[in-house]
Amino acid sequence: MTAVQGTAVDIPTEDGTADAYLSHPGDGRPHPAVLLYQDAFGLRPHLRAMADRLAGAGYTVLVPNVFYRHGRAPVVELPEFIDPEARPQMWEQLTPLIRSLTPELAARDAGAYLDWLAASPLAADGPVALTGYCMGARLVLFTAGAHPDRVAAAAGFHGGRLATDGPNSPHLAAARITAEVYFGHADQDSSLPEEQIERFEQALTEAGVRHRCEVYAGAQHGYTQADTTAYDREADERHWAALLDLLDRTF
């Protein structure tokens, strides 16, 4: 593993300043860039550790606080170990934040994040990769669809509501995606029933998107998040293997 350096950075957007975490190999040279999208719990020590692990594999990784319009991270106070069922009031705070980030705002913010990476001497020239978790998996699809020429690879893990009947459903972005796509679904995830898994797969296939979608047996929504009760070590390591394989093929 390469030695890494992590720093807090601020990213100008059309609607203010997004605080973010940047992790990169410590050699100071440009490396392929990865934009990592948070789950609902937001930018916190565990996501920084995930970024550091990716940076150790040779990538420059940016993790924005996508809720920046509501304040700097942590926007909602979080315990060190997150048990959502034990803290229902946490969802009362988080749900309005999640709903306020519309596909239009997400795509606009993505442009700012991509511009910031393009200007960074630590990011290699050319398109970037995306990876996202829970709600971040939806943001991956919105970003890859809105900025197809700037995204070479797109991965999502334990995403929910990926293929709804709504007019803004994330799966509708498939028609505009040119990146290679990998998604790892959790089969114990009530937010992504089997019919949505099938609809999502069909949308990618019909759009001609190079992709692989896999269902992780026994895994819960949130299986990669080691600071939560949903964590599943076996599924998490499978996620790392799939993600790094995608990045290796891309870069």
The reply to whether 109 belongs to the active site is: no
The Cα–Cα gap between 173 and 96 comes to 23
The reply to whether 31 belongs to the active site is: no
169 by DSSP, 3-state: which?
coil
- Answer for the pair 228, 84: CB distance below 8 angstroms, yes or no: yes
The Cα–Cα gap between 138 and 200 comes to 12
H or E stretch at 45: helix 45-56
Catalytic entry in 19, 134, 158, 232:
134
- Answer for the pair 246, 182: CB distance below 8 angstroms, yes or no: yes
The Cα–Cα gap between 212 and 141 comes to 14
Per the listing, tokens 């319009």 go with 69
The Cα–Cα gap between 70 and 3 comes to 33
The reply to whether 189 belongs to the active site is: yes
Catalytic entry in 19, 39, 109, 189:
189
SS (H, E, C) 67-126: CHHHCCCCCCCCCCCECHHHCHHHHHHHHHHHHHCCHHHHHHHHHHHHHHHHHCCCECCC
Which residues are known catalytic residues?
134, 189, 221
